[in-house]
Amino acid sequence: MKLVKLLANLGYGSRKEVQRFIKAGAVTDDTGEVLREASNTPHERILFRGEPLDPPSPLVIIMNKPDDYTCSTEDPGDTIYDLLPARFSCRNPGLNPIGRLDKDTTGLLLMTDDGKLLHRIIHPKSNCLKRYHAVLDRPLNGSEGEIFASGEMLLRSEDRPLLPAQLEVLNEKEAIVTLHEGRYHQVRRMFAAVDNHVLTLKRISIGGLALPDDLEEGEWRPLTDAELALVFDHP
């Protein structure tokens, strides 16, 4: 890919802006040699203003989503895109969340510019299980696990039963819920249906990929190939 198109697709500016950056000497290789539009330098060796280029497409990133951030730019307030470099909003193709998290749900969120991968992960046939840590307002009564796993649970205003979900009780007010699907506010609505209320909810894994311990809330990084493969593992 030509240097101007590469930088423009990565969001560093319009093609005209990128051309000006190149003429001004802002784009070099890792030895400091100034690059020109016709340069044929490998992506990993190109620097923009002394910094390595952002990863190329296709890109998958992992984020530890904080509370009070939405996954849609159409919603008011802070969004997950505010946690990324501003130029990421100009990437072509753009980054999209792989399954949204509610504004008040935290934890593991994947984003990608690879549409085929996105649909592969969210498709029910992929069986990418999603695990959530829920802190509840009231103690569990002991019947929730059987109800969640029955395959007969109906949520209000729906006529299709939920797929069986697993409940792992941690203590009287904390539990891990494993879902095989991802309906709107599903975990919160499930507990509401058994007369409880979720105080905090955090997604802790997708498939065999767990939220890294060293990824603080609000932080993100590119996902490695090995980590991506874990998404399709079934623990």
Structure tokens at 173: 């007010």
Structure tokens at 123: 């498709």
Does the annotation mark 195 as catalytic? no
Nearest alpha-carbon partner for 10 in 45, 42, 58, 69:
58
Q: Do residues 60 and 114 make contact, with C-beta atoms less than 8 angstroms apart?
A: yes
Cα distances (angstroms) measured from residue 187 to each of 128, 190, 229: 16, 5, 26
Q: What CA–CA distance (Å, rounded) separates 96 from 73?
A: 11
Task: Give the active site residue among 102, 113, 159, 214.
Answer: 102
Structure tokens at 140: 């569990």
3-state secondary structure of 187: helix
151 Ramachandran zone, left/alpha/beta (phi>0; psi -120 to 50) = left
Which residue in the block uniquely carries the two structure tokens 């000497």? 25
Q: What CA–CA distance (Å, rounded) separates 64 from 82?
A: 13
Q: What CA–CA distance (Å, rounded) separates 49 from 86?
A: 16
- Report the catalytic residues: 102
